[in-house]
């Protein structure tokens, strides 16, 4: 979308995936990136979440990867060739107030034309999955129970907002703010991803994109778990100049195949673990239940499955 911003005509996204992390946003972005009429040169640029903020306000662990300069950000989209531009950044969700303010400042009267979406997951599952992702990536050595203690969260939050595993799963206030700012926003829950083709076609219709295209919806992306081989996982996730160069020169079709191969390799080299049922029941009751109940009314979805703990399921079976 061409927008007049700061006295210049600039290319900005037509589609913005707002989050949240470990909820299926990577899958939705991967589907869209395969569409021949969509242009998404990179994921997680973080522009709307962090532009116009001093560097010290951006968590140190992600600071060097955020695109905060408007000239560099919009230049990234110069090769769109008439395709719809898409930005998918989970930082939009964690920094929702700043994201909303920046989107409004950029799009002004064009804001209603913007296609925005959210994907939400059972908050207990999302919290633990984010924790396991950090374990997999070598960013977490504590137990989940230790990591969610308030004093531990406070001591690490300046490195990565993701360390607030529970806080990142409180949806209601953020979703409410997004829907008030952008009432056109599509809200999905991860249960919708079980019917991948239906979700994809619904979202393509919403974006005004054709559906007669071949898109891989079966590859499982960004799996979380405890690594069996830490060295291999480190190599697969390590960012370097060679990888960045290949992303620029390789055709999208090759990149899609490499992404799928990488995800399959990671999945084979991680071990799935479950949360302690007592911990699950405790954080569901003490942290998430009120938020889930308010969210149900806000998005008009039945979230009763999110309100049942594993402990209650086991007791019902016995």
Check which CATH number belongs to the domain holding 110 and give it: 3.40.50.300
pLDDT computed for residue 233 by the predictor: 66
pLDDT computed for residue 287 by the predictor: 97
pLDDT computed for residue 75 by the predictor: 95
pLDDT computed for residue 317 by the predictor: 34
Mean residue pLDDT of the chain comes to: 88
How far apart are alpha carbons 140 and 233 in whole angstroms? 14
Percent of the chain with pLDDT over 70: 88
How far apart are alpha carbons 128 and 312 in whole angstroms? 18
Q: What's the mean pLDDT in 173-193?
A: 96
pLDDT computed for residue 181 by the predictor: 97
Residues 201, 202, 208, 213, Cα dihedral to 10°: -10
Contacts of 115 (CB under 8 A, 6+ apart): 14, 15, 16, 184, 186, 206, 207, 208
318 found inside a domain: no
278 found inside a domain: yes
For residue range 85-142, list pLDDT tens digits in order: 999 999 999 999 999 999 999 999 999 999 999 999 999 999 999 999 999 888 999 9
Tell me the pTM. 0.87
Q: What's the mean pLDDT in 62-68?
A: 88
Helix (H, G, I), strand (E, B) or coil at 270: strand
78 found inside a domain: yes
Tell how far CA 67 is from the center of its chain. 16
Of 176-190, 218-232, 271-285, the least confident: 218-232
The number of C-alpha atoms within 13 Å of 67 and in the hemisphere containing its C-beta is 19
253 found inside a domain: no
Structural domain for 47, as ranges: 2-225+272-311
With a cut of 90, say whether residue 206 has pLDDT above it. Answer: yes
Q: Tell me the Ramachandran region of residue 160: left when phi exceeds 0, alpha when psi lies from -120 to 50, beta otherwise.
A: beta
pLDDT computed for residue 126 by the predictor: 96
Q: What's the mean pLDDT in 261-286?
A: 85
With a cut of 50, say whether residue 316 has pLDDT above it. Answer: no
290 found inside a domain: yes
pLDDT computed for residue 53 by the predictor: 84
> Which of 90, 113, 116 shows the shortest CA–CA distance to 178?
116
Element of type H or E holding 16 = strand 15-17
Helix (H, G, I), strand (E, B) or coil at 233: helix
With a cut of 70, say whether residue 247 has pLDDT above it. Answer: no
With a cut of 50, say whether residue 164 has pLDDT above it. Answer: yes
Q: What's the mean pLDDT in 185-197?
A: 94
Tell how far CA 22 is from the center of its chain. 6
266/71: higher pLDDT: 71
How many domains in the chain?
A: 1
pLDDT computed for residue 250 by the predictor: 67
Show contacts of 77-80: CB within 8 Å, 24+ apart. Answer: 77/11, 77/12, 77/13, 77/39, 77/41, 78/11, 79/39, 79/41, 80/11, 80/39
Q: What is the DSSP letter of 278?
A: H
How far apart are alpha carbons 49 and 94 in whole angstroms? 8
254: its two tokens: 């090759």
> Which of 98, 117, 129 shows the shortest CA–CA distance to 280?
129
With a cut of 90, say whether residue 246 has pLDDT above it. Answer: no
pLDDT computed for residue 314 by the predictor: 47
174 found inside a domain: yes
134 found inside a domain: yes
With a cut of 60, say whether residue 10 has pLDDT above it. Answer: yes
For residue range 291-306, list pLDDT tens digits in order: 999 999 999 999 999 9
Relative orientation angle of helices 25-33 and 252-268, to the nearest 10 degrees: 150
Give the angle 84-85-87 at the CA atoms, nearest 5°: 140
Asked if 288 and 148 touch (Cβ cutoff 8 Å), the reply is no
With a cut of 50, say whether residue 18 has pLDDT above it. Answer: yes
pLDDT computed for residue 235 by the predictor: 67
59 found inside a domain: yes
Rg (CA), the chain: 20
> Which of 199, 169, 149, 187 shows the shortest CA–CA distance to 292?
169
Tell how far CA 218 is from the center of its chain. 18
Asked if 150 and 168 touch (Cβ cutoff 8 Å), the reply is no
């Amino acid at each position: 979308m061409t927008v007049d911003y700061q006295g210049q005509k600039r290319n900005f996204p037509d589609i913005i995936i707002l989050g949240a992390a470990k909820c299926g946003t990577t899958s939705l972005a991967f589907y869209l990136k395969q569409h021949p009429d969509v242009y998404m040169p990179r994921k997680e640029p973080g522009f709307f979440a962090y532009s116009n903020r001093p560097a010290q306000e951006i968590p140190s662990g992600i600071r060097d990867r955020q695109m905060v300069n408007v000239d560099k950000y919009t230049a990234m989209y110069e090769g769109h060739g008439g395709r719809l531009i898409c930005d998918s950044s989970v930082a939009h969700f964690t920094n929702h107030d700043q994201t909303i303010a920046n989107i409004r400042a950029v799009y002004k009267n064009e804001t209603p034309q913007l296609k925005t979406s959210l994907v939400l997951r059972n908050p207990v599952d999302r919290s633990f999955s984010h924790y396991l992702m950090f374990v997999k990536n070598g960013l977490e050595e504590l137990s989940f129970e230790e990591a969610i203690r308030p004093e531990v969260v406070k001591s690490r939050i300046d490195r990565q907002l993701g360390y607030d595993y529970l806080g990142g799963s409180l949806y209601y206030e953020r979703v409410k703010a997004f829907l008030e700012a952008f009432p056109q926003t599509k809200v999905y829950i991860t249960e919708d991803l079980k019917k991948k083709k239906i979700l994809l076609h619904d979202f393509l219709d919403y974006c005004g994109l054709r559906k007669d295209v071949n898109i891989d919806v079966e590859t499982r992306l960004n799996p979380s778990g405890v690594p069996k081989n830490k060295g291999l996982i480190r190599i697969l996730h390590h960012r370097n100049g060679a990888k960045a160069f290949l992303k620029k020169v390789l055709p999208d079709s090759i990149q899609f195949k490499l992404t799928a191969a990488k995800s399959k390799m990671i999945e084979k080299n991680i071990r799935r673990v479950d949360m302690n049922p007592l911990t699950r029941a405790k954080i569901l009751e003490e942290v998430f239940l009120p938020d889930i109940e308010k969210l149900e009314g806000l998005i008009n979805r039945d979230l009763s499955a999110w309100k049942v703990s594993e402990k209650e399921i086991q007791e019902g079976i016995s």
